[in-house]
Chains A and B, each alone.
Chain A
């Protein structure tokens, strides 16, 4: 297969920029597609070509497979990178891309389907000796089969969507009396989210950690694992802080989980980069949870401790190149931590914070990596995910990584919207994170205390904040008074900003560099 020369990136934000950069590093020409909301975005600015694909809502742009494939052909691309989210795990899109004569940079559609149905995946793994979370390996026809399982395994149990992911269609059931109602709700939610109302049941494992293994598999039957990522710090099943390696994983356990993950790849016919998620109980027993058939948000921590470029590896594998790394050469070096910086207000239930970025200062310095497409003046839109930046810190050991992360969080300034930066500072500086004693329930169970700490302030801090706001308000009034006395209308930038805050950027004419 000839090397790839031009790649179309079917995504937006930080991950689109990440792929643009990998293309540049490989001497490949990056092509972007964009919705009306992203016309002025950084990945669009940095690509060789950028083509409009529709309106701001994802269903009218980033999810339109036919329009995206047509754009790839028009731009002369030979491959499509889907990033994560949107069409990344859509087998029909992967298939249509191949049928159009383009390379899909990701797993083959058959493998995507084999791991995409959670019940099928559980059955497949169980058959090949991979430990699964105790539970049903069939879709639940009715409450009878679930009740029988729950009586034998004991409550609490959790109902999950067969086609599921992201906590949709998921219900914890603590007593038989609640089962029928929970099943009805899980079914309706799963049906609405995935077009498939299939439900199965698992024993609810509490005080467990979420530990996942990164794998790479080429088209020549060679597969390796790149060690684990610890992702237990989650709020309502949404990961917030990740690290590699995990304090809970010994070299021996890493080998065992790694072997299991490679086996998962093998039996599902997996190719390209993927992640096998496990729950790890207190005794260090891993249970297969699911396969994420894509590049993960948190891939940078693995890159930092292995020195590998995972997007580059994805592109090489898709181009048919054999893996150049051997398992015995891989061992984590140092420690890496990632904080997901979200446009959400941590003191008000992580409420979304759309709006214009008035000013921005990104952290830098030794050991710091920031993946973000954010620019001053950008509008964080309600149409997309709230992830605005990924802040990663590397250290020779975990202590150094923690101190660097705290330093970088202190340098990070975003003005215009609230972010999760104060929450991250609180968590990373806290005793639980320092000692590594946390599990998947930790954030949810401590959120009230964290919130209270975020709201603390002393008299002097409050007084200074009051003065800062009063002076800023005074200046704003003086400015508008000056404008009024000159008879001037507010400047175009201010008007555009105000308009953008209301409805997203005003449409402008498209452009494309030849």
Chain B
């Protein structure tokens, strides 16, 4: 399996295949053997003779399914890292991604909740990080911010409306 892994601003081209009970992993062309042991989501990962307990699980409703991207949370050594796995056949490298910036971006709900405020208006130009909506979940209000600068072309929800996880809230162009 070939996959592109993005961790923060780092990127690794990986290839994973089975090798008996272990895995053969190619990391940016470097060959290594990985042992993954234990059951469930908390396991030991041995890579380059170093064994570290690692918890890994897929994140629901994150990532952009249309581009073959899945998001994983990985906890090792007390640190949480977000890993995005991208199918290299369906997505370009980061540089090419910038070309897509002109296209529409759908801002989605990351969890079910209720829209308590709509802070943006259709046609409005917004900056990266600017608040777009406030969604209440688990007794907490959460501001949904713009993932990039752009113009709001559609708002799919109204104040007071319940939203499901993954629902499109707003479209930016």
User: Interface residues, chain A, CB within 8 Å of chain B?
Assistant: 343-344, 347, 349-355, 358-359, 361, 376, 382-386, 409-410, 413-416, 418, 421-422, 425, 454-457, 459, 461-478, 501-502
Cα-based distance from A415 to B73 in the complex (angstroms): 9
Q: A351-B111, A466-B12, A469-B83 given; name 18 further pairs at CB < 8 Å.
A: A349-B142, A352-B137, A352-B142, A359-B40, A413-B55, A413-B75, A422-B78, A422-B80, A461-B81, A464-B76, A466-B10, A471-B16, A471-B36, A472-B58, A473-B72, A474-B16, A477-B1, A502-B165
B1 contacts A474, C-beta separation under 8 Å: yes
Near A by CB (< 8 A), chain B positions 127-151 give 137-140, 142-143
Known A-B contacts A352-B137, A474-B1; the reply to A415 vs B83 at CB < 8 A is no
* Chain A residues within 8 Å of B112, by CB: 354, 382
B81 contacts A457, C-beta separation under 8 Å: yes
Q: Which residue of B lies closest to A459 (CB)?
A: B10
* Chain A residues within 8 Å of B16, by CB: 470-471, 474
Cα-based distance from A418 to B82 in the complex (angstroms): 11
B78 contacts A409, C-beta separation under 8 Å: yes
User: Interface residues, chain B, CB within 8 Å of chain A?
Assistant: 1, 3, 5, 7-8, 10, 12, 14, 16, 18, 23, 25, 27, 34, 36, 40-42, 45, 47, 52-58, 60, 70, 72-81, 83, 85, 110-113, 137-140, 142-143, 164-165
Known A-B contacts A465-B83, A467-B25; the reply to A421 vs B140 at CB < 8 A is no
| A–B Cβ pairs within 8 angstroms, 22 of them | A349-B142, A352-B111, A353-B111, A354-B138, A359-B40, A382-B137, A413-B53, A414-B55, A457-B7, A463-B27, A464-B45, A464-B47, A465-B74, A466-B5, A467-B27, A467-B45, A469-B5, A470-B85, A472-B36, A473-B58, A474-B1, A502-B164
A415 contacts B5, C-beta separation under 8 Å: no
B5 contacts A359, C-beta separation under 8 Å: no
Cα-based distance from A472 to B60 in the complex (angstroms): 15
B72 contacts A472, C-beta separation under 8 Å: yes
User: B87: shortest Cβ distance to chain A, in Å?
Assistant: 10
User: A481: shortest Cβ distance to chain B, in Å?
Assistant: 11
User: A311: shortest Cβ distance to chain B, in Å?
Assistant: 25
B140 contacts A469, C-beta separation under 8 Å: no
B40 in complex: contacting residue of A349, A358, A410, CB < 8 Å? A358
Cα-based distance from A246 to B52 in the complex (angstroms): 37
A382 contacts B111, C-beta separation under 8 Å: yes
Cα-based distance from A386 to B138 in the complex (angstroms): 7
B52 contacts A464, C-beta separation under 8 Å: yes
A461 contacts B83, C-beta separation under 8 Å: no
- B interface, over-half SS: strand
Q: Which residue of B lies closest to A383 (CB)?
A: B138
B79 in complex: contacting residue of A349, A358, A457, CB < 8 Å? A457
User: A485: shortest Cβ distance to chain B, in Å?
Assistant: 16
A471 in complex: contacting residue of B34, B55, B75, CB < 8 Å? B34
B137 contacts A354, C-beta separation under 8 Å: yes
User: B140: shortest Cβ distance to chain A, in Å?
Assistant: 6
User: B16: shortest Cβ distance to chain A, in Å?
Assistant: 5
B77 in complex: contacting residue of A384, A461, A474, CB < 8 Å? A461
A469 contacts B165, C-beta separation under 8 Å: no
* Chain A residues within 8 Å of B52, by CB: 464
Cα-based distance from A347 to B42 in the complex (angstroms): 21
* Chain A residues within 8 Å of B164, by CB: 502
Q: Which residue of B lies closest to A358 (CB)?
A: B41
Cα-based distance from A408 to B115 in the complex (angstroms): 38
A461 contacts B79, C-beta separation under 8 Å: yes
User: B109: shortest Cβ distance to chain A, in Å?
Assistant: 11
Cα-based distance from A354 to B60 in the complex (angstroms): 10
B42 in complex: contacting residue of A361, A410, A466, CB < 8 Å? A361
* Chain A residues within 8 Å of B53, by CB: 413
Q: Determine which residue in B5, B36, B55, B138 has the highest number of CB atoms from chain A within 10 A of its CB, and name it.
A: B138
Cα-based distance from A347 to B60 in the complex (angstroms): 18
A386 in complex: contacting residue of B40, B47, B140, CB < 8 Å? B140
Known A-B contacts A461-B77, A473-B70, A473-B85; the reply to A413 vs B23 at CB < 8 A is no
B138 contacts A466, C-beta separation under 8 Å: no
B41 contacts A416, C-beta separation under 8 Å: yes
B137 contacts A501, C-beta separation under 8 Å: no
Known A-B contacts A351-B142, A382-B113; the reply to A470 vs B5 at CB < 8 A is yes
Cα-based distance from A418 to B79 in the complex (angstroms): 11
Cα-based distance from A478 to B16 in the complex (angstroms): 12
A415 contacts B57, C-beta separation under 8 Å: yes
B111 contacts A462, C-beta separation under 8 Å: no
A470 contacts B25, C-beta separation under 8 Å: yes
